Amino acid sequence: MAASDKTLDDLFVDMLKDVYSAEKQILAALGKMTKMPDSEKLALAFDTHRAETEGQIERLEQIFASVGKPPQGKTCAAMQGILQEANEMAEEFKGSDALDAGIIASAQAIEHYEITRYGTLKSWALELGMQDAARLLERNLQEEKKTDQLLTKMAEERINARAA
């Protein structure tokens, strides 16, 4: 297909593949991130979000099915980069007081990437008249936003605990 023949439907499926790849990478990363932080609360939050991520991947698979495509990722290079930075930071700050601050920052970078992708995909789904897909994407979007807010709260608690 010539590039000029591509449509918004094609772009939607391309971005669906991007976020599917990102979620698969995140699922693997969260398994490791659960073991990293000093804070038990933070470890528990990652474990909860790992379970949510499994559900998000299933919703994406439902959307692939609804457009008649096999669920397939298209390597998300952005998430590879975010996770590479996260790993480097965790290595460099292992055993230090600043480790959890760095882990929270890495986790928020992940959530913000997901939020931008789901926001875009949801609006394109609505534009394309795909109400069911839009509803599923909105559920993923809300879980990412909720996780981001929880991370902000934990970052603030950490700062307050240090100040006390």
Query: Closer CB to Fe ion, residue 100 or residue 140?
Result: 140
String of contacts with Fe ion for each residue 84-113, x by CB under 5 A: ---------------------------x--
Q: CA 60 to CA 15: how far, in whole Å?
A: 11
Q: CA 121 to CA 150: how far, in whole Å?
A: 23
String of contacts with Fe ion for each residue 26-65, x by CB under 5 A: ---------------------------x--x---------
Cβ-proximal residues to 26 (8 Å cutoff; 6+ apart), any chain? 53, 79, 83, 110, 114
Positions 102 through 161 that interact with Fe ion (CB under 5 A): 111, 114, 144
Helix, strand, coil percent values for the chain (each to nearest 5)? 80, 0, 20
Among 12, 18, 83, 102, binds Fe ion (CB under 5 A): 18
Interacting residues toward Fe ion by CB under 5 A: 18, 53, 56, 76, 78, 111, 114, 144
